[in-house]
Amino acid sequence: MTAKGTKMKQILSQIISFVFPITCSACGADLPASSTERVCDTCKDSLVKNDGLVCAKCGEFLPDGGEFCFKCRADKKRFHFDLLRSAYIYKDTLRKLVLKFKYSDRAFLAKTFSQEMTHTLIRSGFNSKTDLIIPVPLNIVRRVKRGYNQAALLADEIAQNVSKPVIKGVLARKRITRPQFKLTREKRFKNIENSFTVKDAKAIKNKNILLIDDVATTCATASACAKVLKQSGASRVFVLTLARD
């Protein structure tokens, strides 16, 4: 591109930025026209990483230390996945961003979120053990209403970062369930029970699966997915989520 063409491109970019400014999805602050991020540095720095002492099984933050959280220590078989890790704690700024990501058509946030998720994956040590990546599927009603599956967007970005294949459509929902966030912790396991199916067992047979989702609260969804994946022949199921509630 010539110097003149470059100058015109810069001017056009400035005009577009003036008419349609790029702003931080959390605080609304203006971002540079050339920015590929959609969250300002101040807001990114305020996100609380879940990289301290966590439960060796479910990844719950343990403020007082220890190897396992109370519930996992009491019942080592309560979850069907091998282990779960999350990039952030689900609170404050991150909570606001996740809600916008899921319900306000901010699909572009997947790229920003995937960066710390990829770091968490590599730091946790199960990236090298992963054969393929599978996102937690949405039921058809929410998928059509939302326009995209946020877990699938995250999976695509992470897969590109670590050069792993993503398989979609193998794990599917076989019934429509009530939204988990509307239920008590006790009712979430019952609500999601037996709601997933594997459509192609050959694709996952003897494979180590990395399951991707946005937020883990009770881990009921991740456990239900892991259960059916293992019943269909998967060897191990690791879970990586954006946040841990």
Half-sphere exposure for 161 (CA within 13 Å, toward CB) = 21
pLDDT in tens, 3-57: 666 666 555 555 555 556 789 999 999 998 778 889 999 999 999 999 889 999 9
How is residue 91 written in tokens?
Answer: 């609170």
In the chain, which ranges are continuous DSSP H helix?
A: 3-19, 41-46, 70-74, 92-103, 109-124, 140-146, 150-162, 185-192, 220-231
The token pair at 59 is 């990844």
pLDDT given at position 187: 76
Under 8 Å CB-to-CB from 108, ≥6 apart: which residues? 38
Of 30-39, 70-79, 202-211, the one with minimum mean pLDDT is 30-39
Specify whether 42 is located in the same domain as 54.
no
Are residues 31 and 138 located together in one domain of the fold? no
The per-residue pLDDT for 34 is: 78
Range in 106-115, 161-170, 189-198, 228-237 the model is least confident about: 189-198
pLDDT of residue 13: 52
Q: Does 1 share its domain with 84?
A: no
User: Are residues 123 and 147 located together in one domain of the fold?
Assistant: yes
pLDDT value for 181: 65
Contact 101, 88 (CB under 8 A): no
Highest-scoring range by mean pLDDT, 145-149, 187-191, 203-207: 203-207
Which CATH number covers residue 129?
Answer: 3.40.50.2020
Q: Which domain holds residue 18?
A: 1-46
Tell me, what's the pLDDT at 190? 77
* Whether residue 158 sits in one domain with residue 211: yes
Percentage of the residues of the chain whose pLDDT score is greater than 70: 88
In tens, the pLDDT along 58-73 reads: 999 998 888 999 999 9
Query: Which residue among 12, 27, 46 closes a domain?
Result: 46
Predicted pLDDT at 20? 61
Domain total for the chain? 2
Please say whether the beta carbons of 204 and 185 come within 8 A: no
Looking at the fold, whether 134 and 216 belong to one and the same domain comes out as yes
How far apart are alpha carbons 162 and 160 in whole angstroms? Answer: 6
Residues 31 and 60 in one domain: no
Q: Which of 83-87, 129-133, 174-178, 202-206 has the lowest mean pLDDT?
A: 174-178
**Domain match, 157 and 58 both:** yes
- In this prediction, residue 2 carries a pLDDT of 66
For residue 224, pLDDT beyond 60 = yes
Q: If you average pLDDT over every residue of the chain, what do you get?
A: 90
* DSSP 8-state symbol, 58: T
What is the pLDDT, as a whole number, of residue 14? Answer: 58
- Which of 13-17, 75-79, 215-219 has the least mean pLDDT? 13-17
pLDDT attached to residue 243: 98
pLDDT in tens, 165-201: 999 999 999 877 666 666 666 777 777 888 899 999 9
CA contacts within 13 A on the Cβ side of 219: 25
